[in-house]
Every structure is written in C-alpha cells, then in structure tokens.
Amino acid sequence: MHLIRPAVVLPVCAWLALCVPEARAQEQQPAPASGQSTQEPLTLERAVSLASERNETTLSAQARAEAAEARVAQARAFFFPRLVVNGGYTRRPQERTRQVGEETVVLQRANALDANAIASVTLFDARGFPLYQAAKRDSEATALDAKEARRQVAFQAATAFLSTLGLQQVADAAERRLAYARQSLEEAQARAQAGLASTNDVTRAQLDVATAEAELADAVGQAETSRLQLGYLLVVPEVGALAPPETLLGEASRPVDSFAGLADKALERRPDILSSKLRIEQQRALAREPLARLFPSLTASAQGSVTNEAGLNGQTFNGFLSVDLTWTLFDGGTRYAERRERLALTRIQELDTAARVRGVDVSVESAHVSLRTAQAALSRSQVAFDAARQNAEETTILYRQGLASSLALSDAQVRQFEAEVSLAQARYALGTALLELRSAVGLDPLGKEP
C-alpha cells in the first residue's frame, strides 16, 4: 500500500506542474477588444453574391417564375382526362319494402350507401393549343425576368459597394486634413509665442481646424448613410470593412477598344431583350385563341354508380357513356373584339421590343464614352493629386522657415484635400463606368454571363 501511493501521487504532481505554465500563458494572452472585428473585409464578389441570394426583389422575381411554371401545368391539364369520385350515406328511420310474388324487395334501406365515378376528357378543343403555347412563353419570359432582376440587383449592390468605398476614402482624407490642420495650429501657436509670427496665423489655423472638423463630420455622415444603403441591398444587419476591388479597377484600366467585342452578342445575352421577344410570341398565341372558338369542341364522359339499394330491377351498378359536341356559331362578336384587342397588345409589345433593341446600341456606346472619360479623369486626378501633395509638403517646409504665409499653407492643404477627394471619386467612377458597360452588354458585375 505504501508503494502504490507514491506511484500514483508523483505522476499527478508532475502533470499539474506542466499544466501551470500553460494556464498562466493562456491567462496572459490578451483577449480581442470588443470593438475590433475579426471578420474579413467584404469583397465585391461577396457583396454581389449576398444581394443575389438575399434581396427581396430577387426572391420575389423567382417566386413569380415558379408561379408561371404552375400556370403552364394548369394549361397542360386541359388535355388530360378528369376523374371525379363521390360517395354518400343516408340514414332513414325505417326501410321501405314491397312484396313481389313470393320475394320481398327492399326499395329503400335504412342505411343507404351509394358511390359515383365520373370520367371526362376533351377530345378536341382548338383553344387549348394557343393557350398552352401562351402559358409556355409566359413561363420562359418570366424566368428570364427573374434572371434580369437578379442581374440588376447585383449591379445595384456593386454600384453601392463602390460608392460606399469611395465615400469612406473621402472620410479618411478629411480625417487626414484635420490632422494636418491641428498640427499647423500647434506650430502657429508655438511661432506666435516665440514672436516669429502674428496672432493672425493662429486665428487662421483655428479657422482651418473648424472647417476641417465640419468637413469630416459631413464626410463621415455620407459614408455611414451609404453603408446603411449597402447593408439594405445585401440584407445584412451591419457592413464591416470593405476590400478594394482591385480586379475590377485593373480591368477598367484597359484600353476602351479592347471591350469592343463585348457588344457583338449583347442582344443574345440580355435577359430583358430575350424576355421581351418571348412576350411577343405570347401575345401572338393569345391573339389566335379567339379564332379557335370558331371550331366546335368535342367532349366524352363516362359515369358509373354503385349502391346497396337494388330496387325492383335488382341492379346495384349502373353506368353510361356520352359524347357531347358544342359549337358556338355566334357569340355576339366577342371573339373578334378580343382578337382585335390582343393584336393591338401584340403591336405594342413589338414596338416596345424594337425600342429596347435600339437602346442597346446606344447604351453600349454611352458606356464606352463613360469609360473613356473616366480613364482620362483618373489620369488627370492622379497628376493633380501628386502636384497638390508636393505643393503642400513644400509649402509646409517654407512656412516653418518663415518664407511662406499661413494663408499659403492653408490653401495648399485645402488643395491637397480636394485633389485627394477628386482622385478617390475618379478611381471608383472608373469602376462604375465598367459596371455600366457590363450591364449594357448583358454581363453580370463580375464580367460573367448571367
């Protein structure tokens, strides 16, 4: 017994001794701050995916496509037979019988049971064919409308993503300008106390700080508003950090002529154009339906019944088969009026489609112009920002040496801020121009076919 205790105690003590440093290391390891976000930055691809999957506009369009598919099934049911079965139970206070010869015949039972089965089928009805074709074209067009709705929501999300990112950079630039203004105020106060500058420099620097604070508050407010709108499109409670879409911006920097081939198959890719053409076929099919009423319809039906009341004839089962011919020779002119109305609706759809088709070329060319203009604006903004930044640095050095006035320093800092804002706006305007081009040629925001 004395040998067993040390054999057990020693390993346990050794294990506890090894666990103590590890526990202390875990205690000393700093926990992440509550305000810090451990999520990865939101990318443009992820934003587009979230909007396409969660936005109510996309989901409702998909639901409309499902409803159109159900209408096709309803139109197809016109060609299939219909079977109806019903049964009944009747409780009477007493049975009614009659004596026929030496046999007692029950006319009505106290507990009467009966069942009927009716089967009917339309052998010929010319209206079913145009109605079924119209339902199919409606289903195909609605499916394309759902795809177009998904595409447009994706472009809205991508545009909001770029706008939010640009406004965030404007807010960052305003924050840097405020830091420069506060630094200039400290230097102006120090120079004024040393007698190297007048108090007017301090007043001017204080004015710059107040102006920079106001511009920062406005920039932050616009960025937060844009972030809320982006979260609304993505259907997320809170939007975290955004990752710059370097792939999109790099693609947008290509020469405009390299995008010329995208317009060749724009009419074949645009879901809205394809849907509009299917709507024409749908209206044409509906316009043929009134003429189909000129033909007679032929229907066959069969009915069988069974009961536990045989009656005098002794039969418990009965049935018959019938064929019905219906021919509406004159309906007061309703069919012709409806045909004229539907032909007019077809013409309207044709004109709308023609306008859409013509608008594709205009949209593509306008997108090319916007992309070319955005590329030139970005190049000029980059040059202006480099010059403004160098001018601000040189003016700061000259001011510290007493060779430049506070007014010149303030003006240099304002110009640097304005140039930085223009650069941020031009950078993301270039991405927006590429999105406009992709939308015009029938692609999604990522450059893929929907």
The string of pLDDT tens digits covering residues 250-305 is 999 999 988 888 888 899 999 999 999 999 999 999 999 999 999 999 999 999 99
pLDDT on residue 407: 81
pLDDT on residue 19: 47
For the segment 184-207, the average pLDDT, to the nearest whole number, is: 83
Mean pLDDT of the chain: 87
Tokens found for residue 356: 């859409």
Residue 87 bridge partners (DSSP): 115
The model carries a pTM of 0.82
Q: What is the pLDDT of residues 131-182, one digit of tens each?
A: 999 999 999 999 999 999 999 999 999 999 999 999 999 999 999 989 988 8
Q: What is the pLDDT of residues 388-399, one digit of tens each?
A: 999 989 888 888
pLDDT on residue 11: 45
Does residue 349 carry a pLDDT above 70? yes
Does residue 348 carry a pLDDT above 90? yes
| Band (38; pLDDT cuts 50, 70, 90) | low
Percent of the chain at pLDDT above 70? 90
pLDDT on residue 222: 95
Does residue 208 carry a pLDDT above 80? yes
Q: Which of the pair, 85 or 20, is modelled with greater confidence?
A: 85
Average the pLDDT over each of 191-200, 366-375, 392-401 and give the range with the smallest value.
Answer: 191-200
pLDDT on residue 105: 73
Q: How far is CA 20 from CA 11, 15, 23, 124, 157, in A?
A: 15, 9, 5, 90, 52
DSSP three-state, residue 237? coil
Average the pLDDT over each of 14-28, 74-88, 232-246, 431-445 and give the range with the smallest value.
Answer: 14-28
pLDDT on residue 6: 46
pLDDT on residue 309: 77
pLDDT on residue 26: 42
Q: State the Cα–Cα distance between residues 303 and 318, nearest whole angstrom.
A: 8
DSSP three-state, residue 29? coil
Does residue 9 carry a pLDDT above 50? no
Question: One-letter amino acid identity for 431?
Answer: G
Distance of CA 292 to the CA centre of its chain: 41
| Band (103; pLDDT cuts 50, 70, 90) | confident
Burial class (CB in 10 A: 0-12, 13-18, 19+), 39: exposed
pLDDT on residue 112: 85
For the segment 41-70, the average pLDDT, to the nearest whole number, is: 95
Q: Which of the pair, 311 or 237, is modelled with greater confidence?
A: 237
Q: State the Cα–Cα distance between residues 44 and 243, nearest whole angstrom.
A: 7
DSSP string, 158-197: HHHHHHHHHHHHHHHHHHHHHHHHHHHHHHHHHHHHTTSS
pLDDT on residue 312: 64
pLDDT on residue 142: 97
Instruction: Report the length, in residues, of the chain.
Output: 450
Does residue 322 carry a pLDDT above 70? yes
Tokens found for residue 188: 């102006």
Q: State the Cα–Cα distance between residues 368 and 440, nearest whole angstrom.
A: 10
For the segment 352-375, the average pLDDT, to the nearest whole number, is: 95
Give the ranges where 293-333 is alpha helix by DSSP (H).
Answer: none
| Structural element, H or E, at residue 112 | strand 111-124
Instruction: Provide the pairing of β-strand 96-100 with 103-108.
Output: antiparallel
Does residue 37 carry a pLDDT above 60? no
For the segment 426-438, the average pLDDT, to the nearest whole number, is: 95
CA dihedral 271, 273, 279, 281 (to 10 degrees): -110
Question: One-letter amino acid identity for 173?
Answer: A
For the segment 293-318, the average pLDDT, to the nearest whole number, is: 86
